[in-house]
Amino acid sequence: MLEGAMEPKTVAEKAAKLGFPAVALTDRNGLYGSMSFSDACIAKGVQPIVGAMLGVARPPEIGGEAAIDWIALLAQDEQGYANLCKLVSAAHLDRPVEQEPHVEFAKLKGLSEGLIALTAGAEGAMAKLLADGQQLKAEAYLDELQALFPERLYIEISRRNDPIEEAAETQLVDLAYARNVPIVATNPAAYSDPTFHAAHDAMLCIAYSAYVESADRATSSADTWLKDPATMSEIFADLPEALANTLVVAQRCAVAAPKRKPILPRLSDDEDEQLRRDARAGLEARLKGRGAEELQRYVERLDYELDIITGMGFAGYFLIVADFIKWAKANDIPVGPGRGSGAGSVVAWALTITDLDPLALGLLFERFLNPERVSMPDFDIDFCETHRDKVISYVQRKYGRDKVAQIITFGRLKARAVLKDTGRVLQMSYGHVDRLAKLVPNSPADPWTLDRALNGVSELAAEYKNEADVKRLFDLAMKLEGLPRHASTHAAGVVIGDRPLDELVPLYRDPRSDMPVTQFDMKYVEGAGLVKFDFLGLKTLSVLREGQRLLAEQGVEVDYSALPWDDAAVFELLQRGDTVGVFQVESEGMRRTLSAVKPTVFEDIIALNALYRPGPMDNIPMFGRRKNGQESIEYPHPLLEGILKETYGIFVYQEQVMQAAQILAGYSLGGADLLRRAMGKKIQAEMDAQRATFVEGCAEHNNIPAAKANELFDLIDKFAGYGFNKSHAAAYALLSYHTAYLKVH
């Protein structure tokens, strides 16, 4: 980060354009981009070579106190890739956090199988020792490398006008011939073409907090661009074998970053049966005292969900989530009633993963886990903010610290930030750059690029056209925009494996945490076979628990799970808009909304939770008028009354879109979820196919004419774009109710 200025996709595209049969990516002490790089190369018909530049402490007997050199390692096969994961992980984890990432030379022993080693040109120990006149030590170092990488070692020559390599090249070539070690030409590239040089130089200044005009700073080499074959042939005209060996190396490397099916630790020899036993026992405890007819409805739903969960192979996932939630509750750590679509599962409710009755609230399992679209379930769990870390510590103890990690995220040079960073290294006035940055519209839902801003903001366009320093600023910043700036840690994501994680993915250390962190971000860590669990900290749960504790000291016991949902004082509070401190409903706009709509039942709180957001917010006035009898309730079709009655004829929830497709056109709920997703993506071909299915289904199941069916499809499509997940709205409405109850009483 802030060294290479090419995204993996850019490397693949440029390699394909230049006609390269293969190209290598070698992050320093990392495989951060290896999976996205592999995908991008394969998509472009280019062979990916997965590698890393590894920092290695020089062996004590060869000297160089505290010297850390680089070596380039390329994976030949899956064994090599696994060893590379272990080595780059060790570079970060096997040392105090204040030390520069590296491994001891001895670490290479036992982890060199399946790896080709390159001596790293001017950055390697051999070139440094030879340039320093230490021939015997260079030979001793070569002996060590040959022993570790028999027939898999190449002496690397880059010819990038580096004084160290220039001083050592003749001796490197002589040693290669004397020891029968092949020479390979390389072109370590930090940017795509020569026109990027000035921007790359500015990027290095951002990385090292320097100024472009500073004399004593790291500078970008004008030779570190991705050269074409003709240029490389000219540079190495006297060493054609070095160029020929690039193809030999490529042919020996036949592995991409591997994709795997989900890998989880096992909590039972027969996880399917264990889940069925636990879920049935849990449901029985939940429904104690209910009648046989009512019980049967729940059992049927439970069995239906269990068949889907076990059929998809997700029983173990549910058992793991249930286990750490039960531990948290047993250890007096508050857990949220639910979050996201998982609250629609009766199995989750039976296992006490969630605390909302899905059947009582009309929540859909298929919104959470679609039997017609195989994808991992995803429970987001809220814990008391002050004790969340205790739950993660429990998970580490249970499964092993080496099998649990957090997930990396990458901060990027976004439009406003890259302008400020670039302006700083150009030593432009802070006030001037800050003013320009603020002219770039800030819209998280629809981010503006600098190019878009120059074309859409006349004041910026004028300054760019008329002021040379502004033009220089934007020209440099636009080249850097979007590149990774720094690594951080995902706020909630944790992965749990069935083996040490460095056998599956490369790891990194966030200096602010003692937990390892995956070098792959959320998208690619799942591709590598690891399953994400979200441990979120929610302050409201801490507030509710503290309120409970203070009341207990006064002899008042409050059991939130036993509170009735029709407390008159709670609804009077909400109707007054007296909701400062009440979860999710304390903003000024929401307080006005509550006063206008005047909720009278729990379902109204759910609906307002879903409606009060951009898009559906426009329907709040109609919702209020219809609720309060000021406007008649109309339904788009009589068959929809049953699902839209609770929201006064208005589509509010994604689940209503799914149910409408089921009732009108005979969709299964799984198929209806695919329809909802298609409407959200707005891919024309997919939408056309869904429209045809919907219209045909309306005719077949309900004799609805094509014109009316198309009208209904358009109506549903309009609402599907901003409909909200009812399961999530219901779970958070419950926290709204609990905090309102605590406040009013």
Q: Is the pLDDT of residue 208 over 90?
A: no
Amino acid at 6: M
Four-residue CA torsion sign, 122, 195, 192, 19: negative
Average pLDDT over the chain, rounded to an integer: 92
Q: Per mean pLDDT, which of 191-195, 210-214, 314-318, 374-378 is the most reliable?
A: 314-318
Q: Is the pLDDT of residue 721 over 80?
A: no
**φ, ψ for residue 307, nearest 5 deg:** -60, -40
Predicted confidence at residue 447, as pLDDT, reads 87
Q: 3-state SS of the chain: helix, strand, coil percent to 5?
A: 55, 10, 35
Q: Is the pLDDT of residue 682 over 80?
A: no
Alpha helices in 558-601 (DSSP H): 568-576, 588-597
Contacts of 683 (CB under 8 A, 6+ apart): none
Choose the weakest-confidence range: 61-70, 178-187, 356-365, 650-659. 61-70
DSSP state of 645: G
Task: Please report, for the chain, the start and end positions of each structural domain, with discontinuous segments joined by +.
Answer: 8-189+226-252, 271-409+488-540, 564-744
Q: Which element (helix H / strand E) includes 537?
A: strand 531-538
Q: What's CA 454's distance to the chain center, in Å?
A: 30
Q: How far apart are CA 228 and CA 14, in angstroms?
A: 10
Measuring CA to CA, which residue among 537, 524, 257 is closest to residue 392?
537
Identify whether the C-beta of residue 517 lies closer than 8 Å to the C-beta of residue 541: no
74-93 residue pLDDT tens = 999 999 999 999 999 999 99
Q: How far apart are CA 691 and CA 685, in angstroms?
A: 10
- Give the three-state DSSP class for 100: coil
Beta 115-118 vs 68-75: how paired, if at all? antiparallel
CATH topology of domain 8-189+226-252: TIM Barrel (3.20.20)
Q: What's CA 369's distance to the chain center, in Å?
A: 20
Predicted confidence at residue 65, as pLDDT, reads 66
Amino acid at 368: F
**Diameter over CA atoms, the chain:** 95
Q: Which element (helix H / strand E) includes 152?
A: none
Q: Which element (helix H / strand E) includes 494?
A: strand 484-496
Tokens of 740: 């309102």
359-402 residue pLDDT tens = 999 999 988 988 887 788 888 899 999 999 999 999 999 999 99
Predicted confidence at residue 2, as pLDDT, reads 67
527-538 residue pLDDT tens = 999 999 999 999
Contacts of 581 (CB under 8 A, 6+ apart): 739, 743
Q: How far apart are CA 35 and CA 41, in angstroms?
A: 10
Q: Where does the pLDDT of residue 64 fall: very low under 50, low under 70, confident under 90, or very high at 90 and above?
A: low
Dihedral, CA atoms, 708, 712, 718, 720, nearest 10 degrees? -160
**φ, ψ for residue 352, nearest 5 deg:** 65, 20
27-59 residue pLDDT tens = 999 999 999 999 999 999 999 999 999 999 998
Q: Following DSSP, what letter does each residue of 674-704 receive, concatenated?
A: HHHHHHHHT-HHHHHHHHHHHHHHHHHHH--
How many alpha carbons fall within 13 Å on the CB side of residue 185?
Answer: 19
